[in-house]
Amino acid sequence: MMEKITIEKEIHTLKATLLESIKHWRIGNDLIGYETFITSIEHLELIINRLEKSSNKIIHAQWNDLLLILQRLHQLIQQQDVIGITDVLEFNILPFIQEWEEDVKVDAK
């Protein structure tokens, strides 16, 4: 039970840092947007490592989808396309994380 609470907390923190990053990049605060983006990626890595060990089959079925999104994000980072990065965060990764949040809540019951 403690691990699920930790995962829920990490997902909540990831969502918050993603929203911060999106907000700052949308208003042109590139440095703060970048710093919060790095924090988001660190939280994403922690969550993936924890969920990888979980028995949640729904989340495991989503790995390939996440990988495709992260590959697209990597391309945009290489191109230094802040608008594209922000769009992927807001319209692809954030909804994905919100779905994880629901799946973890259901799994905890």
Q: What's the domain range around 43?
A: 2-108
Mean of all residue pLDDT scores within the chain: 87
Mean pLDDT calculated for residue range 54-83:
87
SS3 state at 28: coil
Structure confidence at residue 69 (pLDDT):
94
Confidence of residue 104 (pLDDT cuts 50, 70, 90): confident
Nearest one of 18, 65, 63, 67 to 38, comparing CA atoms: 18
pLDDT at 56 > cutoff 70: no
Per the structure, how many domains does the chain have?
1
Cα–Cα distance, 97 to 90 (Å, whole number): 10
Structure confidence at residue 74 (pLDDT):
96
